[in-house]
Structure 1
Amino acid sequence: MTTKNIAANLITETAQAALAGCNSLRSIHDTAKKLITGKQLGLDFDPKRQNAFEMPTALLVCNVEEAIRSEFDQDAIRGFADSYKAGEPVEPLGVVAENGKLRVVTGFTRHAGLMLAIAEGADIKRVWVSQVEGGRAVEIVRQCVSNQQVPVSPLDLAEAYRELIDDHKFTVAGVAAAVHRKVSHVRKMLALVNVAPEVKEMVEKGQASVSTALAADKQCKANGEDTVVHMQEQLAKAQRNGSAKITAKSVGAPSALYGRKDLDVAAPVLVQLADQLEKALPFMATPESVKVELTLSGADLNLQDLAKALANIRAAVKSAQSGTEPAANVG
């Protein structure tokens, strides 16, 4: 005898009545499973459980050398300790079961917070953990994308990506897919691996962004210059200007002195000038000087805007010719 299939979204009156008496996730889970077996509930209502277990803290073992981060945020550890003490929800630790022990492989900051709470007298006998399967590569990926983790520093993230590629045969696209980031992000982090240690230290200390460090390194290598010397000079300049970080503003990097508006305003006059020059130049001759006359009417254009636009363009040209930093944009 063939059992008739039921609709995935089926929920009978019997099921509604049974679920109405459930007041915990456990009871909803168990009741729904029975109702689905009894054809009173469709598969749309099939509850799923994560692979999480509440296990004795005494079984936990942790080797911080397996963490991708080189330093731990003490404020974050303090925060997790307080959360554990208060009985607040904390994301489960990722563990691997080995020889009767639970080796922590994700959530190292959370584990440090748990240990701090216990050291300060909290009576925490059990903690929620989830099983991580798939080996070291999966452990690294999980550390990179863990939902409740303290943000990993750019350098630690770069080294984690490098390990996935060098030791676990990931492609750049594979890393991007695994950590749910763009390929360009992964390439950017990987490029950071190859900059000089002194430049990495600046990034680590927050004295330069990843983008600033990589752009400077690329430019210096193209020009045959020393990236470290250049970055140290830029940092010194930023510090003289009262900033602790290299930015375009702090080092006085030139911004665009003229924009599309300046070109739009100046273009008609420049075209008129070109026409006058063409008329004034003798055919097939190269005179030493030519006199041209321009008649500009305020009725046809805003002479004040024109003066500003031409001043901005002139300043940019002079700056490029002299190699000095230009003055601020006019207007």
Structure 2
Amino acid sequence: MEKGGRKVLGKGLRALIPQGTESSPKEGGVILCPVEKLRPNEDQPRQAFDEAKLRELAESIRANGVMQPILVRRLDGGGYQIIAGERRWRAARMAGLAAVPAMVKEASGTRMLELALIENLQREDLNPLEEAEAYRQLVEEHGLTQEELSARVGKQRSTVANTLRLLKLPEEVRRMLLTGELSMGHARALLSLGSAAEQLALARRIVSGKLSVRSTEDTVRSRPGAAAAKKSSKTRRYGPAEQRLVEELQRRLATKVEISSRRRGGKIVIHYFGLEELDRVVNVILGN
């Protein structure tokens, strides 16, 4: 219908949303919230946003609007903090929307992180490392046990424990996992290696050689002395001076190093994966 030359809204989003307003929202109610009054959650699990996919979502929102309300909680100083839906909020701003549908939820810090994590897991939006960091926050900062966490996210405790182990990988390897250069399958294979230096060396080889998960697993199983290394790693103990030397060599060479001391000498063993890795190690030693 027309009234005074302007089209009257029919069964659009405003007609479908209950009559909560931005100034008087009710728990669980949906409001139209100005985008500038929404604040992202610094602790939310999702840390990486693909710009190309954001632009695609922005185009969809420009054409169809935001189909699913963003989950938010009220802030004491005014405005709202996003619990789940930051990607939709970013895309809506990119699309030029002035307001977005939002569902108001009262939630503590712990519950807020849980909701954000669960929503992202259900949508399969999280990178494995983002998932691991969210688990860590819930366990270390909010006091959940791994059993409680597994029950709340609907995953087996072993799955939660294995995901948390990703945080033990070297920083460079974690960065590869976060950017998608390495998959969860690659990471699982790397975790079976005995040292951070080995993990880093093989991770670099995976990326440069575009190794599949199967090839990576085969490399781990077939590396020289794999069985013996697994057994000896439990029994070898270094003195303080040797330990510092091993760690320094591994840091500089980015590969596994072992020292075997005897009464009148000893030997240093430097591990490598393939000829390309050998060339790299030799160049480091020669200072090239």
**TM-score normalized by structure 2?**
0.58
Tell whether the 8 Å contact from 1:154 to 1:189 is kept in structure 2 after alignment.
yes
Q: What corresponds to 2:59 in structure 1?
A: 82
Residue 109 of structure 1, aligned match among 77, 83, 87: 87
Q: What displacement does 1:109 show?
A: 0.7
Deviation digits for residues 59-92 of structure 1 (CA, Å, limit 9, x no counterpart)? 6221352332222122332233223222345221
Seen in structure 2, the aligned counterparts of structure 1 residues 254 and 190 have a Cα distance that, compared at 3 Å, is closer
Q: What corresponds to 1:229 in structure 2?
A: 198
Residue type at the aligned position of 2:154: H
Tell whether the 8 Å contact from 2:189 to 2:220 is kept in structure 1 after alignment.
no
Q: What displacement does 1:166 show?
A: 0.7
What is the identity percentage for the equivalent residue pairs of Structure 1 and Structure 2? 21
Confirm whether residue 187 of structure 1 aligns to residue 161 of structure 2. Answer: yes
* 1:108-147 matches, cutoff 5 A: 108-118=86-96, 124-146=97-119
Work out the CA distance in 2 between the residues paired with 1:66 and 1:255: 38
* 1:1-331 matches, cutoff 5 A: 51-57=28-34, 60-63=37-40, 65-98=42-75, 99-118=77-96, 124-146=97-119, 149=123, 151-220=125-194, 226-233=195-202, 235-236=204-205, 239=208, 243-245=209-211, 247-249=213-215, 253=219
Q: What displacement does 1:159 show?
A: 0.8
Seen in structure 2, the aligned counterparts of structure 1 residues 93 and 167 have a Cα distance that, compared at 3 Å, is same
Q: What displacement does 1:167 show?
A: 1.0
Q: What displacement does 1:238 show?
A: 7.3
Structure 1: tracts of 5 or more residues without a match: 1-22, 31-49, 119-123, 221-225, 257-324, 326-331
Work out the CA distance in 2 between the residues paired with 1:60 and 1:254: 51
Q: What displacement does 1:202 show?
A: 3.2
Tell whether the 8 Å contact from 1:77 to 1:113 is kept in structure 2 after alignment.
yes
Structure 2: tracts of 5 or more residues without a match: 1-10, 19-26, 223-273, 275-288
Tell whether the 8 Å contact from 1:235 to 1:245 is kept in structure 2 after alignment.
no
Work out the CA distance in 2 between the residues paired with 1:70 and 1:233: 26
Seen in structure 2, the aligned counterparts of structure 1 residues 252 and 185 have a Cα distance that, compared at 3 Å, is closer
Tell whether the 8 Å contact from 2:66 to 2:101 is kept in structure 1 after alignment.
no
**Paired positions, count:** 202
1:65 aligns to what SS in structure 2? coil
Tell whether the 8 Å contact from 1:173 to 1:183 is kept in structure 2 after alignment.
yes
Tell whether the 8 Å contact from 2:58 to 2:94 is kept in structure 1 after alignment.
yes
Tell whether the 8 Å contact from 2:37 to 2:79 is kept in structure 1 after alignment.
yes
Work out the CA distance in 1 between the residues paired with 2:43 and 2:114: 12
Work out the CA distance in 2 between the residues paired with 1:234 and 1:158: 19
Tell whether the 8 Å contact from 1:56 to 1:126 is kept in structure 2 after alignment.
yes
Deviation digits for residues 7-46 of structure 1 (CA, Å, limit 9, x no counterpart)? xxxxxxxxxxxxxxxx99x99xx9xxxxxxxxxxxxxxxx
Q: What displacement does 1:230 show?
A: 4.7
Work out the CA distance in 1 between the residues paired with 2:114 and 2:167: 18
Seen in structure 2, the aligned counterparts of structure 1 residues 192 and 254 have a Cα distance that, compared at 3 Å, is closer
Q: What displacement does 1:54 show?
A: 2.6
Structure 1 segments of 4+ aligned residues over 4 angstroms from their partners? 147-150
Q: What displacement does 1:160 show?
A: 0.6
Q: What displacement does 1:127 show?
A: 2.1
Work out the CA distance in 2 between the residues paired with 1:177 and 1:63: 27
1:249 aligns to what SS in structure 2? helix
Q: What displacement does 1:129 show?
A: 0.9
Seen in structure 2, the aligned counterparts of structure 1 residues 72 and 149 have a Cα distance that, compared at 3 Å, is farther
Seen in structure 2, the aligned counterparts of structure 1 residues 157 and 251 have a Cα distance that, compared at 3 Å, is closer
Q: C-alpha root-mean-square deviation of aligned residues, in Å? A: 3.7
Work out the CA distance in 1 between the residues paired with 2:124 and 2:218: 33
Q: What displacement does 1:169 show?
A: 0.8
Question: Which has the greater radius of gyration?
Answer: 1
